[in-house]
Structure formats: C-alpha cells, structure tokens
Amino acid sequence: MSENIKDKVVIIAGASSGIGAATTRRLAKAGAKLIIGARREGRLEELAKSLPEADITYAAADVTNPEDMEQLARLAIDKHGRIDTLFNNAGIMPTGSLRELRREEWRDMLEVNILGVLNGIAAVLPTMVSQKSGHIITTDSVAGHVVYPGSAVYCGTKFAVRAIMEGLRQEERENNIRSTIISPGLVNTELFKTIGDSETANAIKQASQIPGIGLTPDDVANAVAYAVGTPATVAISEVIIRPTNQEI
C-alpha cells in the first residue's frame, strides 16, 4: 500500500495533534509530500522537526477561515504543482442536551464541523477538477451514523458531513474525484477539551484511554492511510472504526 502513497501530495487540516498528527507521521513514513495546517503553528513546527527526513510544509490555518484553507492549497500547488489528497480532520465536540440552549456551542460546531469541511473542499476542488483527479477525505464519526442523547447537535453536524461527502462523490465522480469519510468511535485525543461540562469531559478522557473502549490516533491514521493508498479506480466511501467494546 505504501507504494500508492509515496510522492502523493496530501494536505492535512487539523494536523497539530491527535488523529491529524498521527496521520502526518503515518503518511510521512510512507513517503507522501505533506502540507499540514492547524491553528497552533508551534505544534506544527514541532511535528515537522520530529520528522526530519519527511517532505513537510506547514502553515497556521483555521478551517473556519476560507482564506486560510486556500493558502494551504496554494502552498501545495506552488511547491508540488498538484493536490492529490485533502484530509479534512479538524472538529469539535461540545455536548449537552438541547434543553440547555447552548447556542454559542451550536454555532461553533456548525462553523468548524460543517463549514470547515466545506471550506476545505472549496479550496482544493477547482484544482482537482482541472487535474481530473483527486481524493477528499474527512473525519466524520460514529455519531454521523447513529444518534444518542446529549449530542443531538454534534450528531447533526456529523450526519451533515456524511451527506456532503456523498454529494461530492456523486457530483464529481466523472472528474475522477473520490470522497471518503473516516468514522471513528471514541478516540484518545484532545477532543474532550472542547466539551464545556468538566465532568463529562473528564469521563470521556478517562474512558478513551482504556484499550477496547478508546481507539488510539494511530488506529485511525492507519484507516486514513488505507484510503489514501487505494488505486485511483477504487472509491472507499466510508470507513467505520470502533473500539472493540463500544456499544453504539
């Protein structure tokens, strides 16, 4: 599979920690040419320095800012002349019942989880259409397939991502542009920090560290690498990856 990844030009948004950082390491090992972005530029610099043999370019980028995503696309074009893959990975997960009326958190989830994905697609799609090739991968969630109490809005954003990515596939299939969603269950990342309720955040943090209850970022990165490494004639639409003991 690595031979299908080597020299591919891959943009990773949300690369500074967790799944994004693990995927950066995984694809760098396979020889990809990487453009990585996130809000925390210092984290990106540390990640790039930890992979001295890799071809990595980094820039601060907030997925809610269309210009930032366009900058990542330009970096890829200026340095490598093409864009093979975009990995839309940034996301947040505030929780709470609808009756709590957390309007600001709802707005933030819509901005990051939905508009952030659309901004990434918009940044790379013209180039991919011109190339008549490309692959857009987005981190979705098991919450994009099932709904559970306390996460109605979060689940709603992830269902929306699933619909957007399937629409992308249908609209751009004749341009040889593939779309993939990676839908993990609970993962041991910093996502718990986006949960406003400290008790819930701590419970999720602790659970995610238990093997079989939580996945590691590397588990998910391997799923991304699998999708990236498939031949251009194969479209992996969805990958659902759950910890063995996860109920939903």
In whole angstroms, what is the distance from residue 85 CA to residue 74 CA?
Answer: 14
Query: In this structure, are residues 121 and 88 in contact, taking their beta carbons and an 8 Å threshold?
Result: yes
Catalytic residue list contains 148: no
With a CB cutoff of 8 Å and minimum separation 6, the contacts of 49 are: none
Long-range contacts of 155-160 (CB under 8 A, 24+ apart): 157/109, 157/110, 157/113, 157/114, 158/113, 158/183, 160/113, 160/114
CA torsion, points 193, 196, 197, 201, in degrees to nearest 10?
-10
Q: Put the strands of the sheet holding 33-38 in their side by side order.
A: 55-60, 33-38, 9-13, 85-88, 134-139, 177-184, 238-241
- What number of helices (H) and strands (E) belong to the chain? 8, 7
Catalytic residue (choose from 58, 148, 154, 226):
154
Give catalytic residue positions. Answer: 154
